[in-house]
Amino acid sequence: MQSAWPPANYSGQLIAGRYFLYYSLGEGSFGEVYYAKDTKFEPPRPVALKLLHRSFLRDPQVCESLKREASALARFSHPHILRVLDFEINREQAYIVTEFAPNGSLAQLLKPDKTSVGKALPLEQIVYLLEQIATALDEAHGQGLIHRDIKPENILLDNANRVLLADFGLAMPLNNPQLTLNGVGSGGVWGTAEYAAPEIWDEKVGKKSDIYALGVLLFQMLTGQLPYQGTAASLMRQHMYAPVPRVGERAAWLTYPPALDEVFDRVLSKVPGNRHTSARELSQHFRHAIQAPAKAYALPPKYSFNTPNKPDISSYVNLKNEQTIKEGFKLLTLTFYITSLLLTYRSKHKHTPLTYNKRGLAYMKLELYSLARKNFDKALELNPDFAPAYRNRGILYQLQGERDNSMRDLETAVKLGDSKARLELSNLQNPI
């Protein structure tokens, strides 16, 4: 009978007669990564060894993923992509051996411990890291591979704090950009929900999906926060439909030029074709934006890694922070919809399709989706040919990720002559 995983004490064991395991570096869904030494060399060489859980040894899909990762890494000879040294898959064990990254991952820089809040990185360090990640990602794309899981945990740091792009277990060929994603991941997609581009939720992927994920990572490095947060279902709605947040919404303490928001508007666009054509182009756009409006605000040539939790980049930019104005506008908008809602209940005509539609729209703007749905349903119950209610309910379905129901309602509104619904339907049918 196969023994349980993991064993009580796996450290101290020898794998394949040469790799001595010292301690765990971290555990994932399918295996565990160990700090090990290759005893074939003298002195023994430090390595990282990813060991597959024994319960997956006879799972062909998981084993294929491990083989794909080793094969993908073997393609590269690049200073910023992790080097594979050895791998083996048989009935007894399966593992990949790579070079060891002694300074951990970008995830540990952004969140030094599990209880801490997100940490923003200083501007010069962001530029330093972004340029190296960009060259690695463009190299992968140039070799015909989509990474599909760009996130802090997969950005490793060597002994000189240089980037090593890792974990190509989900990589797939660029020549099949419409490949359906059959896998189990955060929110039902391959990869990680917080970094998943809108098209991934619609089961499509391309190199622009990687560039989108890098944009999310860049936003996180700059503000210490993710642009979109919440449950997997909420993340799906936000990635697909929510406006790109302003940098100031996640980092109220940060003074920055408007050009920086333009970077994120582009790289986090819902339409892949609107994003940067390469990771290098994103890196250059970011560098140019943080130097606006005057060329005198140049980046220092030397990078420091001992930095405060809340870096001040006002020495690089010279524009007024508009956060107070933005917060006031948000409060004014919220007040407007609450007032509109109250007025519909006080109206003499509060039981008409028009009033129920207005009430549903107010609830939808306040993100009270269940109440919004009930009011749109009531409007259509009173008048089955009331096009605005079909259109607004279609938009509500879209926000909730119910694409088929959204298409049905928007098509009905179009048949009833609603021109606004025609535009919504066109956007839904042609997301790319």
Active site residues: 149
Q: At what angle do helices 369-382 and 387-399 cross, to 10 degrees?
A: 160
The Cα–Cα gap between 53 and 126 comes to: 35
The Cα–Cα gap between 119 and 337 comes to: 35
The Cα–Cα gap between 103 and 166 comes to: 14
**Left (φ > 0), alpha (ψ -120 to 50) or beta: where does 162 sit?**
beta
User: How many Å separate Cα 241 from the centre of its chain?
Assistant: 14
Question: ∠ at Cα 335 (333, 337), nearest 5°?
Answer: 75
Contact between 316 and 123 under an 8 Å Cβ cutoff? The reply is yes
Contact between 431 and 198 under an 8 Å Cβ cutoff? The reply is yes
The Cα–Cα gap between 231 and 139 comes to: 33
Q: In 300-368, where does DSSP find H-type helix?
A: 323-346, 353-365
The answer to whether 50 is a known ligand-binding residue is: yes
- Binding-site positions read 50
- Binding-site positions for ATP read 50
